[in-house]
Every structure is written in structure tokens, then in C-alpha cells.
Amino acid sequence: MDDWQERIDAVWEAAAGGLVDEEVIARIDAIAAERASDDAEAAFERAGARDSGDLPEDAVPLYRLALARGLDDDRRAQATIQLASTLRNLGQVDEALALIAAEQESHPDSPYRDAIAAMHALALVSAGRPEEGVGVAILALVEHMPRYRRSMTAYAEEIARRGA
């Protein structure tokens, strides 16, 4: 890990559990400014600061920039989840669902697949499709069950079909 990322992580660690206020955003921005204005990682960190600081409208274009410029797999998954969450909170549920669907299709084995499924389920609920959301959530849990996988899969698929 480079010094830049260590300093970003230190700001986030200091802010953990607390309010992300203008000072935290300014600290992230100051470190991000060491890189080009269109740097994907810097844009991702700036977006996250604004999102955590309850400035979702300011976060969206920065998430879009970060994703467009290219992030490593870990940050790409995080940025997708965070952008989908923000869009959902802003009432742009269809776009959130599209982002999640694209992420699930292109990276089905992502270490973030459970978080992606959780966001998918939440977005479905927000879209007025709660039964489909429950189905998605149960299907995400199935692989973690020591037993009942077959029956839980069948139940989840049945619930999702009723909701569709």
C-alpha cells in the first residue's frame, strides 16, 4: 500500500463511527488533490466522503467519473454498490437496479457478491417489488447454509415468481 492510500485510510479510520463533516471531506479532498483531477481512485474517495457526509447529489458524478476512468476490482465493486445505494436513496431506483444487474452479470464471483445481492434486494423493495427482493436475499444466503439449500432455493424462486 502506498503512502497516499495510507493517508486516505487514516482519515477514514479517524472518522469511523462518527459524523463525516466538512472537515473530513476537506481532508479527503486535500489528499485526493495530489492526483490528477480525473484520477479514478481520488474520485472514488471524494465520492465516498460526500456520500458519507450526506451530500449524495455531489457524490454521484464523482462515482460515475471513478467508474468511467477505471478502478481495480475491489474499488469497482465498492463504487458500484455505493453508487447504486445513493441512486436508490435519490429515487433513481431503475438506474440502481441496472448498475447492480451489470455488476452481477460481469462479476458473478466477486467477493462482494453478497453485498451486491443485498443492494439488489433493497433496490427491488424500493421499486415496489418486495417479494422479488426477498427472493434475491434468500438466494444470496443459500450458499452459506449447511442444510436446506434445495428447499430454500425453491422457496426463494417461488416467491420471486409470485412477485414478478
From first CA to last CA, the distance across the chain in angstroms is 45
Q: What is the three-state SS of the chain?
A: CCHHHHHHHHHHHHHCCCCCCHHHHHHHHHHHCCCCCCCHHHHHHHHHHHHHCCCHHHHHHHHHHHHHHCCCHHHHHHHHHHHHHHHHHCCCHHHHHHHHHHHHHHCCCCCCHHHHHHHHHHHHHHCCCHHHHHHHHHHHHHCCCCCCHHHHHHHHHHHHHHHC
Q: pTM surpassing 0.85?
A: yes
Tens digits of residue pLDDT in 30-52: 999 999 989 999 999 999 999 99
**Segment 129-154 mean pLDDT:** 93
Whether 105 contacts 117, CB under 8 Å: no
User: pLDDT band at 163, cuts 50/70/90?
Assistant: low
Tens digits of residue pLDDT in 76-113: 999 999 999 999 999 999 999 999 999 999 999 999 99
- pLDDT over 90 at 17, yes or no: no
- pLDDT over 70 at 56, yes or no: yes
Return d(Cα 70, Cα 159) in angstroms, integer.
37
- pLDDT over 60 at 1, yes or no: no
**What is the average pLDDT score of the chain?**
94
